[in-house]
A and B are shown apart, each in its own frame.
Chain A
Amino acid sequence: MNNSFTISDEQQNYTQYNLQANPFPYSPVPAEDPEIFCGQQHVAEQISSTVSSVLATGKSKHLVVTGKYGNGKSHTLKYTRSLLRDRDDVVVGYVAQPGEGFLDIYHEFMYDLGFNRIQELAYNWLASVARDVTDANPMGAESMRSLIDEGDVLLSDIVPEAIRKLSDITRFADFARAIVHMVYEDTNLYAWQWLTAEGIRYEQRKEMEIHSALDDDTMGVRAFTALKNLLLDLGYTSVFVFVDEFESIARLNSKNEQATLNSIRHLMDQNSSGLCVLFGCAPEVWQDVMSEYHAFSERIGQEVALRPLTSEHLYELVADYLNRERDEPNGEAPIHPFTEESLDMILQRSQGNVRQVLALCSRVLDTAIEDEREVITEEFVQESM
Chain B
Amino acid sequence: MLYRRRELDLPNGNLDTPVLFPVRNLGKRSSDNTPTYVGDIPDFSSAIINARSIRNRDPMWNRLTNGVTLREEMDVPEDTIVFADSGGFDFTSGEVDTTPKETLETQRQLNADIYGTVDVPLSRKNRAAENQDRIEQSIQFALEASDHHDGDSLLLASVHGYDPETIRNNIQHLEKYGDFHGYALGSLVPIRTDYEKVTSLVLAARKATEKHLHVYGLGGLVYQPLLLYLGVDSFDSSAFIRAAGNRNYLIPGFGGEELQNIEEMERLPCPCPICGQRTLDDIRQDRTALTQHNLWALATELRRFRYVAESERDIENYLDLRFRGNEVTQRAYKTAKQQIRRLV
Q: Which residues of A are at the interface with B, using a C-beta cutoff of 8 A?
A: 148-157, 159-160, 163, 177, 183-187, 209
Contacts and interface: CB of A to CB of B under 8 A. Distances in A.
A183 B165 contact: yes
A177 B132 CA distance: 14
Contact of B176 (A150, A159, A160): A150
Pairs of residues from A and B, 7 with the lowest C-beta to C-beta distance, nearest first: A151-B172, A151-B173, A156-B136, A156-B135, A156-B132, A186-B163, A155-B169
Contact of B136 (A149, A153, A157): A157
A300 B139 CA distance: 54
Contact of B164 (A150, A152, A186): A186
B163 A184 contact: yes
Interface string B155-178: 000000001111011111111110
Nearest to B200: A186
A186 B335 CA distance: 13
A156 B176 contact: no
B175 A151 contact: yes
A44 B139 CA distance: 58
Contacts of B139: 154, 156
Nearest to A208: B128
B163 A187 contact: yes
Nearest to B166: A155
A184 B136 contact: no
A150 B165 contact: no
A185 B163 contact: yes
Interface string B131-153: 01101100100000000000000
Interface in B199-229: 200
Given A154-B170, A156-B139, A183-B165, 11 more contacts: A151-B168, A151-B173, A152-B173, A154-B139, A154-B169, A155-B132, A160-B132, A184-B163, A184-B165, A184-B166, A185-B165
Nearest to A180: B128
A193 to B, nearest CB: 17
B170 A151 contact: yes
B17 to A, nearest CB: 25
Interface in B105-136: 127-129, 132-133, 135-136
A127 to B, nearest CB: 15
Determine which residue in A154, A163, A209 has the highest number of CB atoms from chain B within 10 A of its CB, and name it. A154
A160 B171 CA distance: 19
Contacts of B135: 155-156
24 contacts: A148-B169, A149-B168, A149-B169, A150-B172, A151-B168, A151-B169, A151-B172, A151-B174, A152-B176, A154-B136, A154-B139, A154-B173, A155-B166, A156-B136, A156-B166, A157-B136, A160-B128, A160-B129, A163-B129, A184-B163, A185-B165, A186-B163, A186-B197, A187-B163
B121 to A, nearest CB: 14
